[in-house]
Amino acid sequence: MTTPDEQPSEAPPLVRPYVITKGRGLPDDEQLSLITLVTAADDEQRRPTRRLTPEEQGLLELCAAGYLTVAELAGHTRLPLGVVRILLSGLTEGGFVIVRPPVERASLVDARILEEVLNGLQAKFG
């Protein structure tokens, strides 16, 4: 199997971030938080109105095989987080990717989730 190290990711430093993002600004943080899960959409959901950039194509291919978080996509592509967010925002609008933002914090939800986390850690390492 291949590792992210083998990906042709040498190009980004030569291109200034705003060129990659075509000058678009940062999207709403809530929607694309660090741990928002992202996966590629089915072909029929896509609304191809333009050609994808190589960076967008790269992100799409990365998440074609399953779910990754926004942070993981940034880590694997070695693009700055802000750039990845902007690209994903465009890909979401075009129906290319589906995002699952994390659940909002609420104390009741928290207690249930914390119990799951605790049980999970104890089962794994206890």
Would you tell me which residues interact with other proteins (CB under 8 A)? 1-4, 6-8, 17, 29, 33-37, 39, 54, 57-58, 61-62, 64-69, 71-72, 74-76, 80-82, 84, 100, 102-105, 107, 110-111, 113-126
Residue 17 vs 22, nearer CB to other proteins: 17
3-class state of residue 115 by DSSP: helix
CA distances for 67 relative to 2, 27, 71, 84, 104, angstroms: 18, 20, 12, 15, 19
CB of 23 to other proteins, least distance (A): 16
CB of 49 to other proteins, least distance (A): 19
Nearest to 101 by CA among 69, 124, 126: 69
CB of 103 to other proteins, least distance (A): 6
Rounded CA-CA distance 20/12 in Å is: 8
